[in-house]
Amino acid sequence: MKIQDYLKDKKHLIDEYLPSYIKDKAIPSHLKEAMLYSLEAGGKRLRPILTLSVLEAFGQRAEMGMEAACALEMVHTYSLIHDDLPSMDDDDLRRGKPTNHKMFGEATAILAGDALLTMSFQLIAQSSTYTSGHKVELLSLLAEAAGAEGMVAGQTVDMESENMDLTLDELQSIHERKTGRLLEASVLFGAILANASEHDFAQLSAFSRHLGIAFQIQDDILDVMGDSELMGKLAGSDEHNMKSTYPKLLTLDGAKEQLARHLTLSKENLRKADVDPVILEGIADYIVNRNH
């Protein structure tokens, strides 16, 4: 199966499951509408797909990871709602649609993000699929990846660093936390549920760390070269917000060299793990070659 077909099939599966965890809940109607607005706005669903793909790479059924995968997408969606707020990146468009606060107001957007974040933990904790041991591991990893040591830390330092000239190490540190930690958790969720060995867990962790950096470099390149219509948001926002980026620090050609380097390193680590690497390599290639 071509990787594009695989991604399309898995995205369709996730899109079916994801809203079902919210629609039947006793949530005030306006809040529920705001939550579903961003959750159903599209997106590539790469994080939940990675969880399902790792399970399949270990020879397990993908569906066993669906609740954990959807919890990750809830956290990712919450982060986008909050990132778009006027007090942060102040964006009007997300995935080609008005951002959440433009549709529902800032207060409801903040609460919708809060609700998605907390529901992600509820979804895992109340799962009838996972063992108690798996739940503790998943929840601990998710809290660390999304919280004050992970994604929130990255966003904080990213905002503090506007109008500053960062070194490459400083920029990479921001994005390892802001983007990389949740992407790493997506891979490791699959490893946890597949009961991976310590060796395989370590190799997949390294694979995902390099993949996360590659993901961010390609994002930075697209912000310079990308098509706003394809991306569903305005290109050039990083320059407008005076952010340090890989092309700004390394030139466009230098950023592309780093992109290729991290892709190679990610695949080297993947091939050291006792898994079928074909689909995961295909996803890695897709990440560095995507146009939105």
pLDDT at 234 exceeding the cut of 90: no
Q: HEC profile for 149-205?
A: CCHHHHHHHHHHCCCCCCCHHHHHHHHHHHHHHHHHHHHHHHHHHCCCCHHHHHHHH
Task: State the Cα torsion 169-174-178-181 to the nearest 10°.
Answer: 40
pLDDT, mean of residues 99-118: 97
Q: What is the pLDDT of residue 244?
A: 81
* pLDDT tens per residue across span 205-231: 999 999 999 999 999 999 888 555 554
pLDDT per position as a tens digit, 246-285: 998 999 999 999 999 999 999 999 999 999 999 999 999 9
Best CA proximity match to 243, nearest among 155, 161, 175, 152: 161
User: CA dihedral in degrees (80, 75, 269, 177; nearest 10)?
Assistant: 60
- Per the CB < 8 A criterion, the answer to whether 220 and 249 are in contact is no
At 229 the pLDDT is 57
167 backbone φψ class: left, alpha, beta (φ>0; ψ -120 to 50): beta
> What global pTM score does this model have?
0.92
Decide if pLDDT at 237 tops 80.
Answer: no
Mean pLDDT across the chain: 92
pLDDT over threshold 90, residue 233: no
Please say if the pLDDT value at position 39 is more than 70. Answer: yes
Q: How many other C-beta atoms lie within 10 A of the C-beta of residue 165?
A: 9
Report which listed range, 100-109, 150-159, 170-179, is most confident.
100-109
Segment 83-89 mean pLDDT: 92
